[in-house]
Amino acid sequence: MKVRMRSQVAVEEILARKGKLVDDDEHKDIWIKRDMNLEEKEKEKGLRSGAKEKKKQGQR
């Protein structure tokens, strides 16, 4: 689900508090991420792939 906020202040407050969801058992399956453009998405995808490879190599 994508939610559009009216103010940047509201966005920053939500992103600052998103870590509290991890501690709440009822809402631990909720993920909050800021919107990214295509370039940012590709960069994150590459970083995740690299991290998975490192983890895989460490398990051998």
Q: What is the pLDDT of residue 16?
A: 92
Q: What is the pLDDT of residue 60?
A: 62
Question: For residue 16, which of 34, 40, 41 has the smallest C-alpha distance?
Answer: 34
Judge whether 34 and 15 are in contact, CB under 8 Å. Answer: yes
Tens digit of each residue's pLDDT (9 = 90 or more) over 7-40:
999 999 999 988 888 888 888 788 888 888 999 9
Judge whether 9 and 17 are in contact, CB under 8 Å. Answer: no
Stretch among 11-15, 46-50, 55-59 having the lowest mean pLDDT: 55-59
Eight-class DSSP state of 27? G
